[in-house]
Structure 1
């Protein structure tokens, strides 16, 4: 799936008024997610633009719980609240999980603390 197609799905799922708002959310959420993952294969089946964001050189010092992940997202998106950030995270991660297929989403979830499966739209996935 191409970057534009994924952004279209993020825009639709997140009900964003513009592609720019969908892209802002996608870039923020994926950069935060990428800081918590290891291994290049985590982005192997994603479009190059997504892969570059996920493979960014930033590394988290500790895993974030789902609540802290949402709060971190809210801090990075201007004007966001925890409620709107939760919406952003869910829109982006559920599309990301759907795009490459179940195998990659499962491997990503294995690297994250419990509870992130809900953010990906896959309850009790791990």
Structure 2
């Protein structure tokens, strides 16, 4: 079942310690647009089904990426898309959004998502995997 928009953004705002809902929404839009370019097929569709409709549409119509970005480049790309962001603030943004996403899905779907991503994303989702 999809999270309601207010609930989703509330979690992102709390985790990102943003002063406004607008900051949380900006982070969610950028991170989900980048994430969507890394996921394919049924996994992307299943994740979209768990998100509020406007964020599901962002995930399903992602920014284009030539290749899956390693975690550190994903954070850099996030910084490039958020005005005034640094790599440190972008890491915070990515973590706030992806940990909220991780809580919205079950362990099986999260495992499938992580299989489609380069090594190291488990930390961005706040779910370190044993090596």
Give the conservation status (yes or no) of the 8 Å contact 1:43–1:55. yes
Relative distance call for 1:57 and 1:116 in structure 2 (3 A) is closer
| Residue of structure 2 equivalent to 1:122 | 127
Aligned equivalent of 1:24, options 23, 26, 34: 26
| 5+ residue gaps, structure 1 | none
Relative distance call for 1:75 and 1:57 in structure 2 (3 A) is closer
Report the TM-score, using the length of structure 1 for normalisation.
0.93
| Residue of structure 2 equivalent to 1:104 | 109
Runs of 4+ in 1 over 4 A off after TM superposition: none
Q: CA deviation at 1:105?
A: 1.7
Q: CA deviation at 1:51?
A: 1.1
Q: Indicate yes or no: 2:52 matched with 1:52.
A: no
Give the conservation status (yes or no) of the 8 Å contact 2:51–2:104. yes
CA distance in 2, matches of 1:24, 1:105: 23
Deviates more, 1:37-46 or 1:84-93: 37-46
Give the conservation status (yes or no) of the 8 Å contact 2:47–2:105. no
Over residues 4-36 of structure 1, what are the superposed CA-to-partner deviations in whole Å (9 max), with x where a residue is unaligned?
100000000110000000000000000000011
Relative distance call for 1:38 and 1:17 in structure 2 (3 A) is same
Provide the alpha-carbon RMSD of the alignment: 1.5
The total of aligned residue pairs comes to: 126
